[in-house]
Amino acid sequence: MMARRARDERSLSADRRLGAEVRHLSYSGDDESLAASLLSGHPGAPAALFDRYGAHVQRTLASVLGIDDELPDLLHEVFARAFAEISKLEDPARLKAWLTSIAVFTARGCIRQRRRRSWLKFWAPENLPELPENPAPLEAREAVRATYDILERLPERERIAFALRYISGQELTEVALACDVSLATIKRRLRRAKTRFLAMASHDPALVDRLHLQSQQGDSP
Protein backbone atom coordinates (compact mmCIF):
# COMPACT_ATOMS: atom_id res chain seq x y z
CA MET A 1 0.00 0.00 0.00
CA MET A 2 2.84 2.36 0.96
CA ALA A 3 4.61 1.55 -2.31
CA ARG A 4 1.47 2.32 -4.31
CA ARG A 5 1.04 5.62 -2.50
CA ALA A 6 4.67 6.58 -3.20
CA ARG A 7 4.12 5.73 -6.86
CA ASP A 8 0.98 7.87 -6.94
CA GLU A 9 2.88 10.76 -5.37
CA ARG A 10 5.67 10.46 -7.96
CA SER A 11 3.08 10.41 -10.71
CA LEU A 12 1.35 13.50 -9.31
CA SER A 13 4.68 15.31 -9.07
CA ALA A 14 5.41 14.50 -12.67
CA ASP A 15 2.01 15.82 -13.73
CA ARG A 16 2.59 19.03 -11.80
CA ARG A 17 6.01 19.52 -13.38
CA LEU A 18 4.31 19.31 -16.74
CA GLY A 19 1.88 22.04 -15.64
CA ALA A 20 -1.10 19.72 -15.66
CA GLU A 21 -4.04 20.39 -13.39
CA VAL A 22 -4.55 17.50 -11.03
CA ARG A 23 -8.18 16.52 -10.46
CA HIS A 24 -9.03 13.99 -7.80
CA LEU A 25 -11.71 11.54 -8.76
CA SER A 26 -14.64 11.26 -6.41
CA TYR A 27 -14.07 8.67 -3.76
CA SER A 28 -15.99 5.45 -3.79
CA GLY A 29 -15.94 2.68 -1.24
CA ASP A 30 -17.65 1.62 1.96
CA ASP A 31 -17.34 3.39 5.32
CA GLU A 32 -14.53 1.13 6.41
CA SER A 33 -12.35 1.94 3.42
CA LEU A 34 -13.32 5.61 3.63
CA ALA A 35 -12.16 5.68 7.24
CA ALA A 36 -8.93 3.95 6.22
CA SER A 37 -8.42 6.48 3.44
CA LEU A 38 -8.94 9.35 5.85
CA LEU A 39 -6.37 7.81 8.16
CA SER A 40 -3.88 7.33 5.36
CA GLY A 41 -4.34 10.90 4.13
CA HIS A 42 -5.99 10.14 0.81
CA PRO A 43 -6.56 13.56 -0.78
CA GLY A 44 -10.13 12.81 -1.85
CA ALA A 45 -11.25 11.31 1.45
CA PRO A 46 -12.28 14.49 3.34
CA ALA A 47 -14.51 15.58 0.47
CA ALA A 48 -15.93 12.08 0.25
CA LEU A 49 -16.73 12.07 3.96
CA PHE A 50 -18.45 15.44 3.72
CA ASP A 51 -20.39 14.49 0.60
CA ARG A 52 -21.52 11.27 2.17
CA TYR A 53 -22.52 12.53 5.59
CA GLY A 54 -22.70 16.33 5.41
CA ALA A 55 -26.48 16.33 5.02
CA HIS A 56 -26.90 13.79 7.82
CA VAL A 57 -24.76 15.80 10.23
CA GLN A 58 -26.53 19.01 9.25
CA ARG A 59 -29.91 17.38 9.84
CA THR A 60 -28.76 16.06 13.21
CA LEU A 61 -27.57 19.48 14.31
CA ALA A 62 -30.73 21.16 13.02
CA SER A 63 -32.95 18.66 14.78
CA VAL A 64 -31.32 19.35 18.13
CA LEU A 65 -30.77 23.09 17.82
CA GLY A 66 -33.22 24.27 15.21
CA ILE A 67 -31.99 26.31 12.27
CA ASP A 68 -30.08 29.48 12.80
CA ASP A 69 -27.03 31.32 11.51
CA GLU A 70 -24.70 29.36 13.77
CA LEU A 71 -25.46 26.12 11.99
CA PRO A 72 -22.77 26.41 9.28
CA ASP A 73 -20.10 27.05 11.91
CA LEU A 74 -21.23 24.05 13.91
CA LEU A 75 -21.31 21.87 10.81
CA HIS A 76 -17.80 23.04 10.00
CA GLU A 77 -16.73 22.29 13.56
CA VAL A 78 -18.07 18.73 13.44
CA PHE A 79 -16.13 17.87 10.29
CA ALA A 80 -13.00 19.72 11.32
CA ARG A 81 -13.05 17.70 14.52
CA ALA A 82 -13.70 14.48 12.61
CA PHE A 83 -10.75 15.11 10.27
CA ALA A 84 -8.50 15.88 13.22
CA GLU A 85 -9.62 12.95 15.36
CA ILE A 86 -10.10 10.24 12.78
CA SER A 87 -7.39 8.22 14.50
CA LYS A 88 -9.69 7.92 17.53
CA LEU A 89 -12.36 6.10 15.52
CA GLU A 90 -12.40 2.66 17.07
CA ASP A 91 -14.70 0.86 14.66
CA PRO A 92 -14.40 2.12 11.06
CA ALA A 93 -17.67 0.39 10.18
CA ARG A 94 -19.42 2.78 12.55
CA LEU A 95 -18.22 5.89 10.82
CA LYS A 96 -21.71 7.39 10.56
CA ALA A 97 -22.53 6.73 14.21
CA TRP A 98 -19.18 8.22 15.21
CA LEU A 99 -19.93 11.38 13.21
CA THR A 100 -23.39 11.56 14.76
CA SER A 101 -21.88 11.39 18.22
CA ILE A 102 -19.51 14.24 17.34
CA ALA A 103 -22.49 16.23 16.09
CA VAL A 104 -24.36 15.54 19.32
CA PHE A 105 -21.31 16.49 21.37
CA THR A 106 -20.98 19.73 19.38
CA ALA A 107 -24.68 20.52 19.73
CA ARG A 108 -24.51 19.87 23.46
CA GLY A 109 -21.61 22.28 23.77
CA CYS A 110 -23.60 24.85 21.87
CA ILE A 111 -26.64 24.43 24.14
CA ARG A 112 -24.44 24.79 27.22
CA GLN A 113 -22.73 27.82 25.84
CA ARG A 114 -26.03 29.46 24.98
CA ARG A 115 -27.44 28.75 28.40
CA ARG A 116 -24.30 29.86 30.19
CA ARG A 117 -23.88 32.97 28.17
CA SER A 118 -26.57 34.68 26.21
CA TRP A 119 -25.31 37.70 24.55
CA LEU A 120 -26.63 40.85 23.05
CA LYS A 121 -24.57 41.31 19.96
CA PHE A 122 -23.97 44.50 18.17
CA TRP A 123 -22.73 44.58 14.65
CA ALA A 124 -22.49 47.34 12.19
CA PRO A 125 -25.43 47.12 9.77
CA GLU A 126 -23.22 46.20 6.84
CA ASN A 127 -21.95 43.14 8.71
CA LEU A 128 -25.38 41.80 9.45
CA PRO A 129 -26.75 39.09 7.20
CA GLU A 130 -30.40 39.33 6.29
CA LEU A 131 -32.61 36.53 7.53
CA PRO A 132 -33.68 34.33 4.66
CA GLU A 133 -37.39 33.92 4.18
CA ASN A 134 -38.68 30.70 5.66
CA PRO A 135 -40.53 28.92 2.86
CA ALA A 136 -42.73 26.80 5.14
CA PRO A 137 -46.39 27.74 5.61
CA LEU A 138 -47.27 29.79 8.66
CA GLU A 139 -48.86 26.92 10.56
CA ALA A 140 -45.83 24.72 10.04
CA ARG A 141 -43.55 27.56 11.12
CA GLU A 142 -45.63 28.05 14.24
CA ALA A 143 -45.38 24.35 15.04
CA VAL A 144 -41.61 24.42 14.55
CA ARG A 145 -41.29 27.50 16.71
CA ALA A 146 -43.50 26.05 19.45
CA THR A 147 -41.60 22.76 19.41
CA TYR A 148 -38.23 24.43 19.85
CA ASP A 149 -39.60 26.75 22.52
CA ILE A 150 -40.44 23.63 24.48
CA LEU A 151 -37.18 21.86 23.64
CA GLU A 152 -35.28 24.84 25.01
CA ARG A 153 -36.97 24.26 28.33
CA LEU A 154 -36.20 20.55 28.48
CA PRO A 155 -33.09 19.28 30.24
CA GLU A 156 -30.23 19.10 27.75
CA ARG A 157 -30.01 15.28 27.62
CA GLU A 158 -33.74 14.87 27.15
CA ARG A 159 -33.79 17.55 24.50
CA ILE A 160 -31.09 15.81 22.49
CA ALA A 161 -32.65 12.37 22.80
CA PHE A 162 -36.09 13.70 21.88
CA ALA A 163 -34.79 15.60 18.86
CA LEU A 164 -32.79 12.67 17.53
CA ARG A 165 -35.66 10.25 17.95
CA TYR A 166 -38.68 12.28 16.90
CA ILE A 167 -37.30 15.00 14.61
CA SER A 168 -34.24 13.39 13.10
CA GLY A 169 -36.15 10.10 13.01
CA GLN A 170 -33.26 7.97 14.21
CA GLU A 171 -33.70 4.46 15.53
CA LEU A 172 -33.48 3.88 19.28
CA THR A 173 -30.18 2.07 18.90
CA GLU A 174 -28.76 4.96 16.87
CA VAL A 175 -29.92 7.50 19.46
CA ALA A 176 -28.37 5.41 22.24
CA LEU A 177 -25.08 5.21 20.34
CA ALA A 178 -25.05 8.92 19.55
CA CYS A 179 -25.71 9.76 23.19
CA ASP A 180 -23.23 7.12 24.36
CA VAL A 181 -25.67 5.40 26.71
CA SER A 182 -27.35 2.01 26.88
CA LEU A 183 -30.59 1.23 25.13
CA ALA A 184 -32.41 1.00 28.47
CA THR A 185 -31.12 4.40 29.52
CA ILE A 186 -32.15 6.05 26.29
CA LYS A 187 -35.62 4.54 26.56
CA ARG A 188 -36.06 5.96 30.06
CA ARG A 189 -34.71 9.31 28.93
CA LEU A 190 -37.05 9.43 25.97
CA ARG A 191 -40.03 8.51 28.12
CA ARG A 192 -39.30 11.40 30.47
CA ALA A 193 -38.69 13.78 27.57
CA LYS A 194 -41.92 12.81 25.87
CA THR A 195 -43.95 13.26 29.05
CA ARG A 196 -42.49 16.69 29.67
CA PHE A 197 -42.86 17.72 26.06
CA LEU A 198 -46.52 16.74 25.85
CA ALA A 199 -47.29 18.44 29.15
CA MET A 200 -45.83 21.70 27.90
CA ALA A 201 -47.33 21.29 24.45
CA SER A 202 -50.79 21.13 25.99
CA HIS A 203 -50.36 24.83 26.82
CA ASP A 204 -49.44 25.78 23.31
CA PRO A 205 -52.22 26.40 20.83
CA ALA A 206 -49.86 25.72 17.95
CA LEU A 207 -49.42 22.12 19.12
CA VAL A 208 -52.57 21.14 20.96
CA ASP A 209 -54.57 20.13 17.89
CA ARG A 210 -51.63 18.58 16.09
CA LEU A 211 -50.85 16.33 18.99
CA HIS A 212 -54.51 15.66 19.80
CA LEU A 213 -54.01 17.05 23.27
CA GLN A 214 -56.51 18.44 25.73
CA SER A 215 -55.86 22.17 25.81
CA GLN A 216 -54.46 23.32 29.14
CA GLN A 217 -54.36 27.01 28.31
CA GLY A 218 -54.77 29.18 31.35
CA ASP A 219 -53.63 26.50 33.75
CA SER A 220 -50.01 27.45 33.56
CA PRO A 221 -48.64 29.92 36.11
Residues 100-139 that bind another protein (CB under 8 A): 114-115, 117-128, 131-136, 138
Distance CA 10, CA 199 (A): 65
**Residues 6 or more apart whose Cβ sits within 8 Å of residue 59:** 168
As to burial, measured by CB atoms within 10 angstroms (0-12 exposed, 13-18 middle, 19+ buried), residue 162 is buried
Which of 2, 4, 21, 26 binds another protein (CB under 8 A)? It is: 21
Q: How many CA atoms lie within 13 A of 198 on its CB side?
A: 10
Phi-psi region of 218 (alpha: psi -120 to 50; beta: other; left: phi over 0): left
Count of residues engaged in binding another protein, rule: CB under 8 A: 83
- Binding to another protein (CB under 8 A): which residues in 38-97? 43, 46-47, 50-51, 54-55, 58-59, 62-63, 66-68, 71-72, 75-76, 79-80, 83
In 3D space, the residue among 131, 135, 164 whose CA is nearest the CA of residue 61 turns out to be 164
List the x/- string, 168-207, binding to another protein by CB under 8 A.
xx------------------------x--xx----xxxxx
Return the number of the residue (90 or 117) whose C-beta is nearest another protein.
Answer: 117
Please state the closest distance from residue 154 (CB atom) to another protein, in A.
Answer: 12
Return the number of the residue (29 or 72) whose C-beta is nearest another protein.
Answer: 72
As to burial, measured by CB atoms within 10 angstroms (0-12 exposed, 13-18 middle, 19+ buried), residue 112 is exposed
Is residue 15 near another protein by the rule CB under 8 A? Answer: yes
Return the number of the residue (87 or 118) whose C-beta is nearest another protein.
Answer: 118
Return the number of the residue (7 or 16) whose C-beta is nearest another protein.
Answer: 16
Distance from the Cα of residue 103 to its chain's centroid = 4
Please state the closest distance from residue 13 (CB atom) to another protein, in A.
Answer: 8
